[in-house]
Amino acid sequence: MNLKTLIKKIESKYPLNLAYDWDNVGLLVGDFNMDVKKVLVVLEANEKVIDEAIENNIDLIITHHPFIFKKINKINTSDLKGRLIHRLIKNDIGLYSMHTNFDIAFDGLNDYFMELMGFENCKILDVTNNEVLYKLAVYVPTTHVEKVKASLAKSGAGHIGNYSHCSFSTEGIGNFKPLDGANPFIGNRNELEVVEEIKIETIVPQRVLGGVISAMINVHPYEEVAYDLYKLENKGGSVGLGRVSKLKESKKLKDLCEDIKVKLDMKHIRIVGDLDSKINKVAAVTGSGADMVKKAQRSGADVIITGDIKYHDAQDALDIGMNVVDCGHFDTEDVFKDAMKRFLDTIDEIDVMKSEIDLNPFIII
Protein backbone atom coordinates (compact mmCIF):
# COMPACT_ATOMS: atom_id res chain seq x y z
CA MET A 1 0.00 0.00 0.00
CA ASN A 2 1.17 3.48 -0.84
CA LEU A 3 2.29 5.32 2.34
CA LYS A 4 0.16 8.35 1.48
CA THR A 5 -2.95 6.12 1.32
CA LEU A 6 -2.09 4.45 4.64
CA ILE A 7 -1.54 7.82 6.33
CA LYS A 8 -4.88 9.05 5.00
CA LYS A 9 -6.59 6.05 6.61
CA ILE A 10 -4.78 6.59 9.93
CA GLU A 11 -5.44 10.34 10.00
CA SER A 12 -9.11 10.03 9.13
CA LYS A 13 -9.47 8.37 12.55
CA TYR A 14 -6.62 10.06 14.42
CA PRO A 15 -6.29 13.55 12.86
CA LEU A 16 -3.03 15.40 13.44
CA ASN A 17 -4.88 18.59 14.39
CA LEU A 18 -6.04 16.96 17.65
CA ALA A 19 -2.44 17.05 18.92
CA TYR A 20 -1.25 19.79 21.29
CA ASP A 21 0.66 22.67 19.64
CA TRP A 22 3.92 21.69 21.36
CA ASP A 23 3.75 18.15 19.98
CA ASN A 24 5.40 16.79 16.83
CA VAL A 25 3.28 14.19 15.04
CA GLY A 26 2.85 12.72 11.56
CA LEU A 27 5.43 11.39 9.10
CA LEU A 28 8.72 12.50 10.69
CA VAL A 29 11.05 10.53 8.36
CA GLY A 30 10.27 9.03 4.98
CA ASP A 31 8.86 9.31 1.48
CA PHE A 32 5.07 9.70 1.12
CA ASN A 33 5.24 7.75 -2.15
CA MET A 34 6.96 4.67 -0.73
CA ASP A 35 5.25 1.28 -0.75
CA VAL A 36 4.38 -0.12 2.70
CA LYS A 37 3.96 -3.85 3.30
CA LYS A 38 5.24 -4.31 6.83
CA VAL A 39 4.67 -2.01 9.80
CA LEU A 40 6.34 -2.13 13.23
CA VAL A 41 4.44 -0.57 16.17
CA VAL A 42 6.39 0.53 19.24
CA LEU A 43 6.26 3.06 22.08
CA GLU A 44 9.39 4.82 20.82
CA ALA A 45 12.30 4.20 18.45
CA ASN A 46 15.90 3.74 19.55
CA GLU A 47 18.92 1.98 18.03
CA LYS A 48 17.64 -1.51 19.04
CA VAL A 49 14.19 -0.85 17.56
CA ILE A 50 15.79 0.22 14.28
CA ASP A 51 17.93 -2.98 14.31
CA GLU A 52 14.70 -4.94 14.83
CA ALA A 53 13.03 -3.08 11.94
CA ILE A 54 15.94 -3.78 9.57
CA GLU A 55 16.07 -7.51 10.55
CA ASN A 56 12.33 -7.86 9.90
CA ASN A 57 12.22 -5.95 6.59
CA ILE A 58 9.96 -3.28 8.06
CA ASP A 59 8.88 -0.44 5.75
CA LEU A 60 7.32 1.82 8.37
CA ILE A 61 7.82 2.23 12.12
CA ILE A 62 4.90 3.80 14.00
CA THR A 63 5.80 5.21 17.41
CA HIS A 64 3.76 6.86 20.15
CA HIS A 65 6.48 9.19 21.42
CA PRO A 66 7.63 11.63 18.72
CA PHE A 67 10.88 10.33 17.23
CA ILE A 68 12.02 13.91 16.55
CA PHE A 69 11.05 16.34 19.28
CA LYS A 70 13.87 18.77 19.98
CA LYS A 71 15.18 21.03 17.23
CA ILE A 72 17.80 19.35 15.01
CA ASN A 73 20.50 21.48 13.36
CA LYS A 74 22.25 18.74 11.45
CA ILE A 75 21.74 15.12 10.49
CA ASN A 76 25.01 13.22 10.56
CA THR A 77 26.40 10.10 12.16
CA SER A 78 28.33 11.91 14.90
CA ASP A 79 25.32 12.21 17.18
CA LEU A 80 22.72 9.62 18.19
CA LYS A 81 19.58 11.14 16.63
CA GLY A 82 21.42 11.98 13.40
CA ARG A 83 22.74 8.43 13.21
CA LEU A 84 19.28 6.94 13.71
CA ILE A 85 17.70 9.18 11.05
CA HIS A 86 20.55 8.35 8.68
CA ARG A 87 20.03 4.61 9.25
CA LEU A 88 16.28 4.89 8.64
CA ILE A 89 16.77 6.72 5.34
CA LYS A 90 19.59 4.40 4.24
CA ASN A 91 17.36 1.37 4.87
CA ASP A 92 14.26 2.90 3.23
CA ILE A 93 12.30 2.84 6.49
CA GLY A 94 9.73 5.53 7.18
CA LEU A 95 8.87 6.73 10.68
CA TYR A 96 5.47 8.03 11.71
CA SER A 97 4.58 9.28 15.22
CA MET A 98 1.12 9.67 16.73
CA HIS A 99 1.27 11.11 20.20
CA THR A 100 -1.23 13.48 21.86
CA ASN A 101 -3.58 13.14 18.86
CA PHE A 102 -3.73 9.41 19.68
CA ASP A 103 -4.19 10.09 23.42
CA ILE A 104 -7.05 12.51 22.74
CA ALA A 105 -8.89 10.83 19.85
CA PHE A 106 -11.89 8.58 20.36
CA ASP A 107 -10.69 4.94 20.31
CA GLY A 108 -7.13 6.08 20.97
CA LEU A 109 -4.77 5.24 23.80
CA ASN A 110 -6.88 6.51 26.73
CA ASP A 111 -9.97 4.67 25.51
CA TYR A 112 -7.92 1.51 24.95
CA PHE A 113 -6.49 1.76 28.48
CA MET A 114 -9.98 2.13 30.00
CA GLU A 115 -11.21 -0.86 27.99
CA LEU A 116 -8.25 -2.92 29.19
CA MET A 117 -9.08 -2.00 32.79
CA GLY A 118 -12.72 -2.97 32.24
CA PHE A 119 -13.99 0.58 32.87
CA GLU A 120 -17.11 1.31 30.83
CA ASN A 121 -19.21 4.31 29.67
CA CYS A 122 -16.24 6.62 29.77
CA LYS A 123 -16.48 10.40 29.71
CA ILE A 124 -13.72 12.85 28.80
CA LEU A 125 -11.72 14.24 31.73
CA ASP A 126 -10.33 17.34 30.00
CA VAL A 127 -12.04 18.50 26.78
CA THR A 128 -9.49 19.91 24.32
CA ASN A 129 -11.50 20.28 21.09
CA ASN A 130 -15.05 20.40 19.85
CA GLU A 131 -15.45 19.04 16.37
CA VAL A 132 -16.21 21.57 13.60
CA LEU A 133 -19.29 20.63 11.58
CA TYR A 134 -20.32 21.45 8.00
CA LYS A 135 -23.64 21.31 6.17
CA LEU A 136 -23.29 19.84 2.70
CA ALA A 137 -26.03 20.39 0.09
CA VAL A 138 -25.71 18.56 -3.23
CA TYR A 139 -28.00 18.63 -6.29
CA VAL A 140 -28.59 15.16 -7.79
CA PRO A 141 -30.72 13.92 -10.74
CA THR A 142 -33.56 11.69 -9.45
CA THR A 143 -31.94 8.57 -10.97
CA HIS A 144 -28.87 8.79 -8.71
CA VAL A 145 -30.31 9.94 -5.38
CA GLU A 146 -29.99 6.62 -3.50
CA LYS A 147 -26.46 6.02 -4.79
CA VAL A 148 -25.29 9.46 -3.65
CA LYS A 149 -27.06 9.13 -0.28
CA ALA A 150 -25.42 5.73 0.30
CA SER A 151 -21.95 7.05 -0.51
CA LEU A 152 -22.42 10.07 1.80
CA ALA A 153 -23.43 7.78 4.67
CA LYS A 154 -20.63 5.29 3.99
CA SER A 155 -17.95 7.97 3.98
CA GLY A 156 -19.02 9.37 7.39
CA ALA A 157 -21.61 12.08 6.65
CA GLY A 158 -25.03 12.24 8.34
CA HIS A 159 -24.21 11.25 11.95
CA ILE A 160 -26.24 13.00 14.66
CA GLY A 161 -25.83 11.50 18.14
CA ASN A 162 -26.80 7.83 17.96
CA TYR A 163 -28.31 8.19 14.47
CA SER A 164 -26.62 7.55 11.13
CA HIS A 165 -27.81 8.17 7.53
CA CYS A 166 -29.35 11.55 8.51
CA SER A 167 -30.21 13.75 5.52
CA PHE A 168 -33.02 15.91 4.19
CA SER A 169 -34.22 15.88 0.56
CA THR A 170 -36.18 18.47 -1.40
CA GLU A 171 -37.44 18.21 -4.97
CA GLY A 172 -36.61 20.97 -7.44
CA ILE A 173 -35.63 21.87 -10.97
CA GLY A 174 -32.00 22.17 -12.05
CA ASN A 175 -31.13 24.44 -15.00
CA PHE A 176 -27.86 24.41 -16.92
CA LYS A 177 -26.38 24.90 -20.38
CA PRO A 178 -23.35 22.79 -21.30
CA LEU A 179 -20.76 24.99 -23.07
CA ASP A 180 -18.15 24.10 -25.71
CA GLY A 181 -15.73 21.53 -24.28
CA ALA A 182 -18.33 20.11 -21.88
CA ASN A 183 -19.20 16.42 -21.90
CA PRO A 184 -22.66 16.45 -20.29
CA PHE A 185 -24.31 13.38 -18.69
CA ILE A 186 -27.70 14.91 -19.59
CA GLY A 187 -28.40 17.35 -22.48
CA ASN A 188 -26.44 18.75 -25.39
CA ARG A 189 -23.82 21.44 -25.81
CA ASN A 190 -25.15 24.99 -26.12
CA GLU A 191 -28.75 23.97 -25.33
CA LEU A 192 -30.48 25.03 -22.13
CA GLU A 193 -31.39 21.94 -20.08
CA VAL A 194 -34.06 21.64 -17.40
CA VAL A 195 -33.81 18.55 -15.15
CA GLU A 196 -35.76 17.24 -12.16
CA GLU A 197 -33.28 17.10 -9.30
CA ILE A 198 -33.23 16.40 -5.59
CA LYS A 199 -31.30 18.59 -3.17
CA ILE A 200 -29.75 16.35 -0.50
CA GLU A 201 -28.60 18.10 2.67
CA THR A 202 -26.51 16.38 5.30
CA ILE A 203 -24.09 17.10 8.13
CA VAL A 204 -20.36 16.38 7.86
CA PRO A 205 -17.66 16.53 10.58
CA GLN A 206 -14.50 18.32 9.46
CA ARG A 207 -12.27 15.27 9.96
CA VAL A 208 -14.06 13.33 7.18
CA LEU A 209 -14.93 16.29 4.93
CA GLY A 210 -12.34 15.57 2.21
CA GLY A 211 -13.30 11.89 2.02
CA VAL A 212 -17.04 12.66 1.91
CA ILE A 213 -16.68 15.15 -0.95
CA SER A 214 -14.49 12.85 -3.05
CA ALA A 215 -16.83 9.86 -2.42
CA MET A 216 -19.82 12.01 -3.42
CA ILE A 217 -18.13 13.25 -6.61
CA ASN A 218 -17.13 9.65 -7.47
CA VAL A 219 -20.72 8.37 -7.60
CA HIS A 220 -22.41 11.54 -8.88
CA PRO A 221 -23.10 11.25 -12.63
CA TYR A 222 -22.50 14.92 -13.53
CA GLU A 223 -19.25 16.14 -15.04
CA GLU A 224 -19.43 19.21 -12.75
CA VAL A 225 -21.08 18.42 -9.43
CA ALA A 226 -22.96 21.40 -7.95
CA TYR A 227 -22.73 21.46 -4.16
CA ASP A 228 -22.66 23.99 -1.33
CA LEU A 229 -20.70 23.76 1.88
CA TYR A 230 -21.54 25.83 4.98
CA LYS A 231 -19.55 25.94 8.20
CA LEU A 232 -21.99 25.48 11.09
CA GLU A 233 -22.23 27.17 14.48
CA ASN A 234 -23.48 23.83 15.94
CA LYS A 235 -20.77 22.18 18.01
CA GLY A 236 -19.83 18.60 17.19
CA GLY A 237 -18.68 15.90 19.56
CA SER A 238 -16.00 16.66 22.12
CA VAL A 239 -12.59 15.07 22.32
CA GLY A 240 -10.00 15.42 25.04
CA LEU A 241 -7.39 13.98 27.34
CA GLY A 242 -8.04 11.41 30.06
CA ARG A 243 -11.20 9.47 30.78
CA VAL A 244 -13.58 9.10 33.73
CA SER A 245 -15.80 6.10 34.44
CA LYS A 246 -18.30 5.17 37.12
CA LEU A 247 -17.74 1.64 38.40
CA LYS A 248 -20.65 -0.80 38.28
CA GLU A 249 -19.92 -1.69 41.91
CA SER A 250 -17.82 0.34 44.28
CA LYS A 251 -14.65 -1.31 45.57
CA LYS A 252 -11.84 -0.61 47.99
CA LEU A 253 -8.81 1.21 46.56
CA LYS A 254 -6.63 -1.76 47.56
CA ASP A 255 -8.78 -4.21 45.54
CA LEU A 256 -8.88 -1.87 42.55
CA CYS A 257 -5.07 -1.67 42.64
CA GLU A 258 -4.75 -5.48 42.77
CA ASP A 259 -6.91 -5.65 39.60
CA ILE A 260 -4.77 -3.02 37.88
CA LYS A 261 -1.60 -4.96 38.69
CA VAL A 262 -3.04 -8.09 37.07
CA LYS A 263 -4.31 -6.27 33.99
CA LEU A 264 -1.05 -4.42 33.40
CA ASP A 265 1.04 -7.45 34.41
CA MET A 266 2.94 -5.44 37.04
CA LYS A 267 4.46 -6.68 40.32
CA HIS A 268 4.41 -3.29 42.03
CA ILE A 269 2.53 -0.04 41.68
CA ARG A 270 2.75 3.11 43.80
CA ILE A 271 -0.33 4.36 45.60
CA VAL A 272 -1.04 7.69 47.29
CA GLY A 273 -4.10 7.79 49.56
CA ASP A 274 -6.19 5.54 51.75
CA LEU A 275 -6.16 1.87 50.69
CA ASP A 276 -9.48 1.27 52.50
CA SER A 277 -11.33 4.17 50.84
CA LYS A 278 -14.32 3.28 48.67
CA ILE A 279 -13.91 3.94 44.95
CA ASN A 280 -17.05 4.64 42.91
CA LYS A 281 -15.59 6.62 40.07
CA VAL A 282 -12.14 6.35 38.47
CA ALA A 283 -10.17 8.72 36.25
CA ALA A 284 -7.18 7.70 34.13
CA VAL A 285 -4.59 9.55 32.06
CA THR A 286 -1.97 7.47 30.27
CA GLY A 287 1.65 8.67 30.51
CA SER A 288 2.11 11.78 32.64
CA GLY A 289 -1.03 12.88 34.45
CA ALA A 290 0.25 14.62 37.58
CA ASP A 291 -1.28 17.93 36.48
CA MET A 292 -4.71 16.32 36.12
CA VAL A 293 -5.13 15.23 39.77
CA LYS A 294 -7.26 18.24 40.76
CA LYS A 295 -9.29 18.05 37.57
CA ALA A 296 -9.97 14.37 38.27
CA GLN A 297 -11.17 15.22 41.76
CA ARG A 298 -13.44 18.00 40.40
CA SER A 299 -14.92 15.45 37.95
CA GLY A 300 -16.10 13.43 40.95
CA ALA A 301 -13.50 10.68 40.57
CA ASP A 302 -12.25 9.05 43.78
CA VAL A 303 -8.91 8.09 42.25
CA ILE A 304 -6.74 8.91 39.25
CA ILE A 305 -4.63 6.20 37.60
CA THR A 306 -1.65 7.61 35.76
CA GLY A 307 2.16 7.75 35.67
CA ASP A 308 5.05 10.09 36.53
CA ILE A 309 3.88 11.19 39.98
CA LYS A 310 6.67 13.06 41.78
CA TYR A 311 7.06 13.43 45.56
CA HIS A 312 5.44 16.89 45.70
CA ASP A 313 2.57 15.79 43.41
CA ALA A 314 1.91 12.99 45.91
CA GLN A 315 2.00 15.39 48.88
CA ASP A 316 -0.42 17.77 47.10
CA ALA A 317 -2.79 14.86 46.38
CA LEU A 318 -2.73 13.83 50.06
CA ASP A 319 -3.45 17.44 51.08
CA ILE A 320 -6.63 17.59 48.97
CA GLY A 321 -7.67 14.04 49.91
CA MET A 322 -7.37 12.55 46.44
CA ASN A 323 -6.20 8.99 45.79
CA VAL A 324 -3.57 8.51 43.09
CA VAL A 325 -2.31 5.28 41.54
CA ASP A 326 1.04 5.64 39.78
CA CYS A 327 1.55 2.73 37.38
CA GLY A 328 4.46 4.47 35.67
CA HIS A 329 4.69 6.26 32.35
CA PHE A 330 5.96 3.16 30.54
CA ASP A 331 3.35 0.68 31.76
CA THR A 332 0.38 2.94 31.04
CA GLU A 333 1.64 3.61 27.50
CA ASP A 334 3.33 0.42 26.31
CA VAL A 335 -0.19 -0.80 25.44
CA PHE A 336 0.11 1.62 22.49
CA LYS A 337 1.43 -1.40 20.55
CA ASP A 338 -1.77 -3.39 21.16
CA ALA A 339 -4.08 -0.43 20.55
CA MET A 340 -2.38 0.52 17.30
CA LYS A 341 -2.07 -3.06 16.05
CA ARG A 342 -5.79 -3.60 16.62
CA PHE A 343 -6.57 -0.55 14.47
CA LEU A 344 -4.03 -1.35 11.72
CA ASP A 345 -5.20 -4.97 11.49
CA THR A 346 -8.47 -3.62 10.08
CA ILE A 347 -6.53 -2.36 7.05
CA ASP A 348 -5.88 -4.94 4.32
CA GLU A 349 -2.58 -5.18 2.45
CA ILE A 350 -0.28 -4.50 5.43
CA ASP A 351 1.34 -6.80 7.98
CA VAL A 352 1.65 -5.38 11.48
CA MET A 353 4.26 -6.48 14.00
CA LYS A 354 4.55 -5.43 17.65
CA SER A 355 8.10 -4.60 18.73
CA GLU A 356 9.67 -7.10 21.10
CA ILE A 357 12.32 -4.72 22.39
CA ASP A 358 11.94 -3.97 26.11
CA LEU A 359 11.93 -0.18 26.34
CA ASN A 360 11.26 0.15 30.07
CA PRO A 361 14.27 2.09 31.37
CA PHE A 362 13.60 1.09 35.00
CA ILE A 363 14.40 -2.19 36.76
CA ILE A 364 12.42 -2.93 39.91
CA ILE A 365 13.98 -5.40 42.36
Buried b (16+ CB within 10 A) or exposed e, 270-293: ebbbeeeeebebbbbbbbbbbebb
Q: Among residues 250, 205, 248, which one has the least CA distance to residue 229?
A: 205
Region 72-131 residues binding Zn ion, contact defined as CB under 5 A = none
By the rule CB under 5 A, 158 interacts with Zn ion: no
- Inter-axis angle of helices 109-117 and 336-344, to 10 degrees? 110
**CB of 255 vs Zn ion, minimal distance in Å:** 28
Torsion sign over Cα 291, 292, 298, 301: negative
Q: State the nearest-atom distance from the C-beta of 99 to Zn ion, in Å.
A: 7
Pick the closer one to Zn ion by CB: 197 or 333.
333
What does the angle CA 34 – CA 208 – CA 233 come to, to the nearest 5 degrees?
Answer: 145
Whether the Cβ atoms of residue 326 and residue 271 lie closer than 8 Å to each other? yes
Contact residue for Zn ion among 273, 287, 289, 328 (CB under 5 A): 287
Residue among 43 and 293 whose Cβ is closer to Zn ion: 43
In whole angstroms, the minimum distance from the beta carbon of 65 to Zn ion comes to 6
Nearer to Zn ion, 148 or 325 (CB): 325
Dihedral through CA 105, CA 108, CA 114, CA 117, nearest 10?
180
Considering the complex, what minimum distance in angstroms separates the CB of residue 336 from Zn ion?
9
Q: Tell me the closest approach of the beta carbon of residue 103 to Zn ion, in angstroms.
A: 8
Q: Which residues pair with 123 in a beta bridge?
A: 244
Whichever of 29 and 335 has its CB closer to Zn ion, that residue is 335
Residues 172 to 191: which contact Zn ion by CB under 5 A? none
Number of residues that bind Zn ion (CB under 5 A): 2
Q: Which stretch binds Zn ion (CB under 5 A): 53-61, 152-160, 284-292, 352-360?
A: 284-292
- Going by C-alpha positions, the residue among 22, 39, 14 that lies closest to residue 98 is 14
What's the distance, CA 344 to chain centroid? 12
Instruction: Indicate the SS3 state at residue 357.
Output: coil
Residues 296-355 touching Zn ion, rule: CB under 5 A, are 333
Q: Which of 240/287 has CB closer to Zn ion?
A: 287
Q: How far is the CB of 362 from Zn ion (least distance, A)?
A: 14
**Contact predicate 224/185, CB 8 Å:** no
Between 242 and 287, whose beta carbon lies closer to Zn ion?
A: 287
Residues that bind Zn ion (CB under 5 A): 287, 333
